[in-house]
């Protein structure tokens, strides 16, 4: 980070710390230190990374508002930001580029969004901000037919040509990964082969998204990429682990606290760096 950017970020930090006692809202838990921290301190730490993963429950508006707050904070600090999206497949990249360049109307872009994902109203503010600030957005998602086939029949059911479309993928679902996925799924977890196939599908998904991120970072070494993905992909054993296997770069993982999955009392540094507590209640401070 340049000296001017650091000074800018410290100014924002000081102002936010002065204002924070007046704000009601979410709190930030530093998993590595085992204590509460402030949003400005977390932001200053995130600014040192190349990749920042922010997990979500897809239908939770508070999670998306927290994601936007972090993106806006980094952008306003002068950090060149890009946004990686689980919500978009890579074959929709042209539409994303047109959107952020101001070359596509919202009603048409929403059609493209809904071909890829759902829940436009809870994501809209993020996409509008990216367009306003001309922040690049990167489609990371895997083709549906690949994830569907692996989920139903396992990784080795893919044909050589299908596997050729997803290089760098090594599908080795270990016990730690399976245990976390059981926590994610709770009572909905499959058993036996069906569960292993589900885990393999998730891991292939993670690996393909990691490949896209690695390619983007190689082509844009000046940018920090904020990755928006479901918490099951954003935790350290998900996409970040797949990146780590091929690229040694600083990464930070920010997850919302989700009762029964990951909570302040049992979150480990091996899973996340920060937990967002109560983002549904208002801004992080």
- Is the pLDDT score of 45 beyond 50? yes
pTM of the shown model: 0.86
pLDDT-wise least confident of 7-16, 33-42, 50-59, 68-77 = 7-16
Higher local confidence (pLDDT), 26 or 226: 226
What is the residue range of 54's domain?
A: 27-281
pLDDT for position 32: 98
Cα separation values, 73 from 97, 99, 133, 259, 283, Å:
22, 22, 13, 27, 12
Domain-embedded: residue 69 = yes
34 domain residue, yes or no: yes
Mean per-residue pLDDT, 175-202: 72
DSSP code of residue 118: S
Instruction: Return the pLDDT at 173.
Output: 64
Lowest mean pLDDT among 132-141, 168-177, 220-229, 262-271: 168-177
Q: Of 284, 231, 224, 285, which Cα lies nearest the Cα of 253?
A: 231
Instruction: Say if residue 270's pLDDT is above 80.
Output: yes
Residue 101 pLDDT > 90 = yes
Helices and strands, number each (H, E), in the chain = 12, 8
The answer to whether residues 140 and 213 touch, using CB atoms and an 8 Å cutoff, is: yes
Could you tell me the CATH number of the domain that includes residue 144?
3.40.50.11550
How crowded is residue 187: how many other Cβ atoms within 10 Å of its Cβ? 6
pLDDT of residue 184: 67
Residue 99 has pLDDT above 80, yes or no: yes
Handedness of CA 92, 204, 222, 11 (dihedral sign): positive
pLDDT digits (tens, 9 = 90+) for 17-38: 444 443 557 899 999 999 999 9
Mean pLDDT of the chain: 87
Q: What is the mean pLDDT of residues 205-223?
A: 95
Q: What's the whole-number mean pLDDT along residues 106-135?
A: 98
Q: What are phi and psi of 255, to 5 degrees?
A: -125, 145
> Domain tally for the chain?
1
Contact 281, 25 (CB under 8 A): yes
Residue 11 lies in a domain: no
pLDDT at 22: 39
Q: Is residue 20 part of a domain?
A: no
User: What percent of the chain clears pLDDT 90, i.e. is strictly above it?
Assistant: 65
pLDDT at site 151:
81
The verdict on residue 143 lying in a domain is yes
- pLDDT for residue 60 is more than 50: yes
Q: What pLDDT was estimated at residue 152?
A: 85
Residue 273 near residue 255, CB atoms below 8 Å: no
Distance, CA of 231 to CA of 91 (rounded, Å): 23
Is 16 part of a structural domain of the chain?
no
Return the pLDDT at 248. 97
Residue reference for tokens 């979410």:
26
End-to-end CA, the chain: 23
Is residue 199 very low, low, confident or very high in pLDDT (cuts 50, 70, 90)? confident
pLDDT given for residue 15 in this prediction: 45
Dihedral, 110, 111, 112, 117 alpha carbons, nearest 10: 80
pLDDT of residue 17: 46
Question: Would residue 7 count as lying in a domain?
Answer: no
4 falls within a domain: no
pLDDT at 19 (0 to 100): 41
Instruction: Please give the pLDDT value at position 260.
Output: 85
Across the chain, the runs of DSSP E, i.e. the strands, are 27-30, 35-37, 51-56, 81-89, 137-141, 224-230, 251-256, 274-277
């Amino acid at each position: 980070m340049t000296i001017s950017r650091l000074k800018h970020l410290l100014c924002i930090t000081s102002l936010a710390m002065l204002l924070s006692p007046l704000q009601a809202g979410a709190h930030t838990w530093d998993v590595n230190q085992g204590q509460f921290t402030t949003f400005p301190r977390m932001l200053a730490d995130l600014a040192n990374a190349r990749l920042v993963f922010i997990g979500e429950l897809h239908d939770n508006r508070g999670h998306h508002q927290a994601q936007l707050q972090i993106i806006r904070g980094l952008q306003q600090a002068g950090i060149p930001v890009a946004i990686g999206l689980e919500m978009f497949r890579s074959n929709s990249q042209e539409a994303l580029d047109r959107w952020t360049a101001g070359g596509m109307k919202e009603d048409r872009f929403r059609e493209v969004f809904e071909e890829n994902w759902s829940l436009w109203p809870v994501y809209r503010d993020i996409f509008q901000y990216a367009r306003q600030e001309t922040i690049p957005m990167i489609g990371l998602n895997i083709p549906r037919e690949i994830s569907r086939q692996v989920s139903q029949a396992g990784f080795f059911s893919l044909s050589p040509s299908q596997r050729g479309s997803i290089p760098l993928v090594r599908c080795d679902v270990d016990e730690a990964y399976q245990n976390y996925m059981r926590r994610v799924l709770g009572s909905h977890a499959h058993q036996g082969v069906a569960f292993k196939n589900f885990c393999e599908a998730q891991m292939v998904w993670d690996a393909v998204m990691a490949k896209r991120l690695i390619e983007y970072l190689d082509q844009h070494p000046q940018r920090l990429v904020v990755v928006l993905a479901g918490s099951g992909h954003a935790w350290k054993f998900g996409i970040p682990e797949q990146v780590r296997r091929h690229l040694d770069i600083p990464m930070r993982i920010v997850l919302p606290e989700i009762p029964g999955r990951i909570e302040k009392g049992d979150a480990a540094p091996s899973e996340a760096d920060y937990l967002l507590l109560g983002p549904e209640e208002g801004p992080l401070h």
